Amino acid sequence: MSLTRREFVKWMAASTGVAAVAGCADMGTGSAGRVVVIGGGYGGATCARYIKIWAPDIDVTMVERNSTFVSCPISNLVLGGNTTMDSITMSYQGLKNRGVRVVQDEVVAVDIGARQVRLANGGTLPYDRLVVSPGIDFMLDRIPGLRSADAQMRVPHAWKAGEQTAVLRKQLEAMRDGGVYVFHVPLSPYRCPPGPYERVCQVADYFKRAKPRSKIIVLDSNPDIVSKKGLFLQSWNGVYKGMIDYRPNSELEDVDVRDMTVKLTFDSVKGDVLNVVPPQRAGDIAVKAGLITANQRWCGVDWRSLESTAVKGVHVLGDATVSAPGMPKSGSMANQHGKIAAAAIVALLAGRPVNRHPVIMNACYSFVDGKSAMHVTSVHKFDAAKNTMVAVKGAGSVSKMASVEEGNYAWGWARNIWGDALG
């Protein structure tokens, strides 16, 4: 079957690629075993759900500190006033209905030798296979002015959707017309390469409607726009012309919360609303469990099973992994990691070999206003010679321009992946 680019994009919006995780053909009952999943985000929830679908006899417990799932994808639209917190907040009931034991708690330690995790409430959970999908934590030791909880509320990152998203939206609403929103972007790699530039579009869309004399200063640590540059510039130099002052190579030194100033190596920038996204690494529990293998930040994995290269029997998913070349830190990718790991765990617990040729795909949409979006897609396959995932040449695509049609696909993508992870 050959697909046109348009058909491929439609298919990506409608499907989350179960079939693409080749090697899951034998989705039989598997043998019983105990799996503990840390983190109920894009990676962890998907993995828990697919283990239960493919091998209902396996006992799956997912530990998540939050009571609900709040999606980062689409959260920038909340900042733009183009959707609500309710629309990105979902329950874990679907997973419970499938037989996943969902425990609302925090994993505070992993005892690798005893094969058990310890919870903040004092309890322990034993496992045969452990899945760690904790997302990111921030390297706040590099930004003394943002270390306190109070400082983080006054200068939010809103890079983990939830309370922070609501706080930043309120600050934007309270800002006077003619005010300045200062947004600092960390050096790549960080969670969601196009996310910062989508955020700029959303805030610009809101200002254009509600506070047309206001300005946006983007302080980017990177030398240039990291993702979909030409497409973002169509909006920045088009409908938002004159609103956005983009300053590359803006390395962050610190933040002065009292003075509402972002301090750069050679400059200081004052604003009415400051939004600083700190540099990131794998979530704290990955550090505590000894899973970090690269730059004291990320976790190395075997891409055929997502098993940690540092600790046997532990699978690491999503943003916490050392990204393979050309692979973004995205919800789409974390969802696909979840499926590879689920298939591998089902196989390993049944004494079968894991698939040696996994193929996965990524789709990232960005909204430039309340309705129009654009996409970038890619396909990644395991390359045995290179021992990593590589992007398949010619398999991906990128929009020519943002459109309302793609905005509809983007909402379709979101609803499908939420169903695929939580339903």
Ligand X SMILES: Cc1cc2nc3c(=O)[nH]c(=O)nc-3n(C[C@H](O)[C@H](O)[C@H](O)COP(=O)(O)OP(=O)(O)OC[C@H]3O[C@@H](n4cnc5c(N)ncnc54)[C@H](O)[C@@H]3O)c2cc1C
- Residues of the shown chain interacting with ligand X in the complex, contacts defined by CB under 6 A: 38-44, 63-66, 72-73, 75-76, 106-107, 133-135, 159, 191-192, 195, 283, 285, 317-320, 329-332, 334, 364-365
Q: CB of residue 145 vs ligand X: minimum separation in angstroms? A: 21
Spatial separation of the C-alpha atoms in residues 82 and 80, rounded to whole Å:
5
User: φ and ψ at 184, to 5 degrees?
Assistant: -105, 130
- Indicate the residue whose CB is closest to ligand X: 41
Q: CB of residue 329 vs ligand X: minimum separation in angstroms? A: 5
Spatial separation of the C-alpha atoms in residues 348 and 351, rounded to whole Å:
5
- Exposed e or buried b per residue across 355-366, where buried means at least 16 C-beta atoms within 10 angstroms of its C-beta: beebbbbbbbbb
Q: CB of residue 281 vs ligand X: minimum separation in angstroms? A: 12
Q: Kindly tell me which of 253 and 284 has the beta carbon lying closer to ligand X.
A: 284
Assigned token pair, 17:
């690629």
Q: Kindly tell me which of 140 and 350 has the beta carbon lying closer to ligand X.
A: 140
Residues present in the chain in total: 423
Assigned token pair, 220:
């980017």
Q: CB of residue 118 vs ligand X: minimum separation in angstroms? A: 10
Pairing of strands 261-264, 129-132: unpaired
Q: Kindly tell me which of 137 and 302 has the beta carbon lying closer to ligand X.
A: 137
Assigned token pair, 308:
């940690």
Q: Kindly tell me which of 261 and 309 has the beta carbon lying closer to ligand X.
A: 309
- Exposed e or buried b per residue across 241-260, where buried means at least 16 C-beta atoms within 10 angstroms of its C-beta: eebbebeeebebebbebeeb
Spatial separation of the C-alpha atoms in residues 133 and 127, rounded to whole Å:
15
Q: Kindly tell me which of 346 and 414 has the beta carbon lying closer to ligand X.
A: 414
Residue 57 DSSP symbol: T
Spatial separation of the C-alpha atoms in residues 24 and 20, rounded to whole Å:
9
Q: Kindly tell me which of 353 and 419 has the beta carbon lying closer to ligand X.
A: 419
Q: CB of residue 167 vs ligand X: minimum separation in angstroms? A: 14
Q: Kindly tell me which of 236 and 241 has the beta carbon lying closer to ligand X.
A: 236
Q: Kindly tell me which of 116 and 261 has the beta carbon lying closer to ligand X.
A: 116
Q: Kindly tell me which of 202 and 250 has the beta carbon lying closer to ligand X.
A: 202
Q: CB of residue 169 vs ligand X: minimum separation in angstroms? A: 12
Q: CB of residue 102 vs ligand X: minimum separation in angstroms? A: 11
Spatial separation of the C-alpha atoms in residues 405 and 396, rounded to whole Å:
19
Q: CB of residue 318 vs ligand X: minimum separation in angstroms? A: 2
Contact 26, 303 (CB under 8 A): no
16 closest CA partner among 322, 406, 334, 366: 334
Q: CB of residue 380 vs ligand X: minimum separation in angstroms? A: 14
159 closest CA partner among 70, 37, 230, 83: 70
Residue 115 DSSP symbol: T
